[in-house]
Amino acid sequence: MGYIIGTGSYLPGEKPVTNEMLSEIFGESINLIGDYFGVMSRSFVVDYRTGENIGNENNSDFCYKAVKEALQKAQIKTKDIGLLITATNTPDYSLPQTSALIQEKIELKDAITLDLRGGCSAPLQGILIAENFIKSGLVENAIVVGSECFSTIYYPNLLKNRETFLAKDLMNSLIFGDGAAAVIVSKHKSGDAVLDVEEVSSQSSFADWPSGFVVALAGSKVKHFGEADLSLGKLLKHFPKEIESRLPKATEAVFKKIQSEKGYEIKDFQYVIGPQANKRLVDSLNRTFKNTNYFYYGDITGNIPGGALLLALDKLLKDCQVKEKDKILVIGVESSKWIYGYCILNKVRS
């Protein structure tokens, strides 16, 4: 029904912060983490030498810049946007909404604003909602923007403990990155890079599985997840055994659903944008995605859960010669409650 008619992205900082740059501060143990997870760099809004947010930018500022580029590419006016959806797990505030903050920044007078929080799958939930708003006739154009801002939360603490840090502190600081990406979903087929949204779906079918990853609020008491006090500095908790065993299972289940419901085989897709968390996890998906053109961008950006799939899509369109009729499969699986989604896109003529 709808089309993606423009994409945009923004990564803060002058340039990506590499493991080599970080090893000057934290020693060569950085390489243990980098090699293990296959994350070679990440973008930080904070200065990696001081932990200060020099540019004074936050999550909604990243979104604003990504949205601005997407609007430009889509060649539509801001006033034509009827729906603005954000997907982030690290908003500037609990309230106000990130979507309303962006609405103000882009000077959009009237719109429906929605904030989603669904880890890596949230952008697909956003596109699903946008598609249905367009189908229902409520709006003609929608923005879906995914983003994260992790460095302001974790990196300053890591710097303070540079002599005594734990591997989990390094992980939380270094496998995640800051940034945003946006898409414009429209009823109309205009703009410079049009993708027909053939199918979009998002489901939660594995809520009874143990969580692989939890992001707590400061001060939360979360006995449910086996941690007495997830206070500041311990906000992220990883359950590696669950992630390593269940992510491949969930991803395979999603692809089987696509096969059975849509009749597609993996060879039908010229590009696959799958989970972007880190190279180690991407490699574990080999059984499902063997011999595919899997587009992975997380080794450069770090993991930006809310923005990863859209960042990869934007980068794919910018760097690869995606041809008319090429089919792109986007699959997202998040590991806190294993919510998943997928989107089948076809490159079409404007």
Partner 1 sequence: MDKNELLNNEKELLKWVKEELIFKRLNLADLGLSVDAVGDTTLLFQKEGLDLDSVDGLELAVGIEQKLGLKVGKLKEDTSKTKFATARSICDFIRELHLTKSMTPIK
Please answer whether residues 127 and 285 qualify as being in contact, where contact means their C-beta atoms are separated by less than 8 angstroms. no
Q: How far apart are CA 126 and CA 166, in angstroms?
A: 36
Least CB distance from residue 241 to partner 1, whole Å?
5
Residue 36 or 206: the one with the smaller Cβ distance to partner 1 is 36
| CA angle 102–107–110, rounded 5-degree value | 90
Residue 164 or 260: the one with the smaller Cβ distance to partner 1 is 164
H or E element, residue 292: none
**Using CB under 8 A as the criterion, what x/- string covers residues 194-233 for binding partner 1?**
---------------------------------xx-----
Least CB distance from residue 334 to partner 1, whole Å?
19
DSSP string for 207-246: TTSPPSEEEPPTTEEEGGGTEEEE-TT--EEE-HHHHHHH
Q: Is 171 in the site for partner 1 (CB under 8 A)?
A: yes
H or E element, residue 1: none
Q: Which of 20, 29, 138, 232 binds partner 1 (CB under 8 A)?
A: 29
Stretch that binds partner 1, among 8-16, 178-186, 240-248, 263-271 (CB under 8 A): 240-248
**Residues of 110-148 as b/e, b for ≥16 C-beta within 10 angstroms?**
ebbbbbbbbbbbbbbbbbbbbbebbeeeebbbbbbbbbb
Work out the burial of residue 239: count CB atoms within 10 Å of its CB; fewer than 13 is exposed, 13-18 middle, 19 or more buried. Answer: middle
Q: Is 164 in the site for partner 1 (CB under 8 A)?
A: yes
Least CB distance from residue 238 to partner 1, whole Å?
6
Least CB distance from residue 292 to partner 1, whole Å?
23
Q: How far apart are CA 315 and CA 301, in angstroms?
A: 11
Q: Which of 51, 92, 156, 165 binds partner 1 (CB under 8 A)?
A: 165
Least CB distance from residue 74 to partner 1, whole Å?
42
Q: Is 283 in the site for partner 1 (CB under 8 A)?
A: no
Paired strand residues for 294: 272
Size of site (CB under 8 A) for partner 1: 24
Give the interface with partner 1 as residue ranges (CB under 8 A). Answer: 23, 27-29, 31-33, 35-36, 163-168, 170-171, 227-228, 238-241, 244
